[in-house]
């Protein structure tokens, strides 16, 4: 079931280059993104409603008890309570982990103007920024049962404080102009100290 998220925080993005799960070479490379969703907000309610609907459709009368058993297990549930995780950014948030197999191709990634496709060289989206996103929620049965989210598309919405390990956003006013119009061509700046 397709769910659209609006103005959520992006974490652990692998939007342009697929990565193996926790660096495990035995796992298949996949694209992915984790979204931090405010508890009680419209996105939280939409995700919870979608999970309940697909669980009832697939698991019938066992849906309620199964969802309770899977709750907050990242092995079974793509949507977990951020208050159970380490890190200030997770407080008061729900965490939606989404993935996309390499064979499915990269997710669509666009700028605020959705006609502009973004690439890794653009430096956005990055961990900590705000995005809009589309995911497909589904129930996996068989050996690895659980509620999963397939990543479909991400739209950069706004800058945010970059999370640790994410490239920082550089503003035009981060640096002042240090050039001196009366200065020579700079040859003397790195002179050999023995010349003085």
Question: Which letter does DSSP use for residue 86 in this model?
Answer: S
Kindly report the CA angle at 143 between 56 and 65, in degrees rounded to 5? 35
Beta bridge partners of 117: 110
**One digit per residue, pLDDT tens: the chain, 196 residues?**
999 999 999 999 999 999 987 656 667 899 999 999 999 999 999 999 999 999 999 999 999 999 999 998 999 999 999 999 988 899 999 999 999 999 999 999 999 999 999 999 999 999 999 999 999 999 999 989 999 999 999 999 999 999 875 554 555 555 565 555 555 444 433 334 444 4
Domain boundaries 2-163, corresponding CATH code: 2.40.50.140
The pTM assigned to this predicted structure is 0.81
Q: Could you state, in order of their start, the residue ranges of all structural domains in the chain?
A: 2-163
DSSP of 38-71, one letter per residue?
ETTSHHHHHHHHHHHHHHHHHHGGGHHHHHHHHT
Helix (H) or strand (E) holding 183: none
Q: Are 13 and 132 in contact (CB under 8 A)?
A: no
């Amino acid at each position: 079931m397709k769910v659209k998220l609006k103005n959520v925080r992006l974490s652990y993005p692998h939007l342009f280059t697929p990565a193996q799960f926790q660096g495990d070479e035995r796992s298949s490379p996949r694209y992915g993104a984790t979204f931090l969703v405010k508890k009680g907000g419209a996105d939280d309610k939409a995700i919870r409603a979608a999970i309940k609907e697909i669980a009832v459709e697939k698991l019938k009368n066992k849906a309620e008890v199964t969802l309770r058993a899977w709750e907050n297990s990242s092995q079974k549930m793509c949507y977990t309570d951020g208050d159970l995780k380490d890190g200030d950014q997770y407080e008061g948030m729900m965490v939606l982990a989404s993935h996309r197999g390499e064979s499915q191709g990269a997710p669509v990634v666009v700028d605020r103007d959705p006609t502009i496709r973004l690439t890794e060289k653009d430096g956005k989206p990055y961990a900590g920024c705000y995005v809009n996103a589309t995911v497909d929620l589904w129930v996996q049965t068989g050996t690895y049962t659980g509620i999963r989210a397939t990543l479909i598309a991400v739209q950069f919405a706004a800058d945010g404080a970059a999370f640790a390990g994410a490239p920082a956003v550089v503003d035009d006013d981060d640096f002042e102009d240090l050039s001196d119009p009366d200065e020579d061509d700079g040859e003397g700046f790195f002179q050999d100290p023995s010349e003085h």
